[in-house]
Amino acid sequence: MALLDNLFWIGHASFYVKSEKGTLFIDPYAIPEGFKERADIVLVTHAHFDHCSIGDIRRVSKPGAKIVAAPQCLEGDKSVIRSRPGARHSFGTVTIEAVPAYNVREERLQFHPRANGWVGYRVTIGGETLYHAGDTDRIDEMDGLDADVALLPMGGTYTMDTGEAIEAAKSLHASNVIPMHYKRLLGKEGSEKAEARFREHVKGAVIMREVIAPAYSFQ
């Protein structure tokens, strides 16, 4: 499969990817009424409401969908497959590796502490690998990480800002790098400036457009 051609940005950190074997969602959030795509697999990176949105997860999940979630997500639901950094999961030809995601900058440590065990994911599907970094700063575990497509947050405040995301992109071995998790934080003008800077400094940069209305107005 051509991963980039089958990857779709809903907005914020929410994506889905389609393959012959089914559809996989990551952090479904702010799913509008009438949205038609449904998930065979759902991955949840961490417990914040804009990533672990129970209503949105239920809305997109097919009956019997596999839900893989980090600690503190969907607590009490025994059908959820729990995941921490280093965990591996396989569903047919889809393989999933949970990788660390946490803050290291002093001003952000309270948002995504390493001790929480929250994650990003490396997903191998159709012979290609997608890396969704989750909510994170640039961390040592990114160095040399291989991916055909990498998704990196660059909104600042809670995660890397644009400059840090550029440095993170340079530390990866990724053919294509897509910024995410910034429009709600930077607004229209700030987002356009960040996109231009990211595109200028990152080899293989791809600026995606949402499949629904732009995320500036997400609440």
Distance (Å, whole) CA 13 – CA 26: 8
Of the candidates 193, 196, 198, 197, the one whose C-alpha atom is nearest the C-alpha of residue 179 is: 198
Q: Report the amino acid identity of residue 145.
A: L
- In angstroms, what is the C-alpha Rg of the chain? 16
Provide the pLDDT confidence category of residue 103 given band limits of 50, 70 and 90: very high
- At residue 219, does pLDDT exceed 60? no
Question: Which CATH code is given to the segment(s) 3-208?
Answer: 3.60.15.10
Q: What is the pLDDT of residues 8-19, one digit of tens each?
A: 999 999 999 999
Q: What is the pLDDT of residues 44-70, one digit of tens each?
A: 999 999 999 999 999 999 999 999 999
- Largest distance between two CA atoms of the chain: 46
Percent above pLDDT 90 for the chain: 92
Phi, psi of 180 (to 5 degrees): -150, 175
| Cβ–Cβ < 8 Å for 66, 50 | no
Q: What residues does 17 pair with on adjacent strands?
A: 7, 24
Block residue for tokens 């952000």: 108
The mean pLDDT of 30-38, rounded to a whole number, is 90
Provide the pLDDT confidence category of residue 21 given band limits of 50, 70 and 90: confident
The model's pTM: 0.95
Res 20: pLDDT? 86
Distance (Å, whole) CA 215 – CA 184: 6
Res 213: pLDDT? 58
Q: What is the pLDDT of residues 132-184, one digit of tens each?
A: 999 999 999 999 999 999 999 999 999 999 999 999 999 999 999 999 999 99
- At residue 95, does pLDDT exceed 90? yes
Of the candidates 207, 217, 209, the one whose C-alpha atom is nearest the C-alpha of residue 185 is: 217
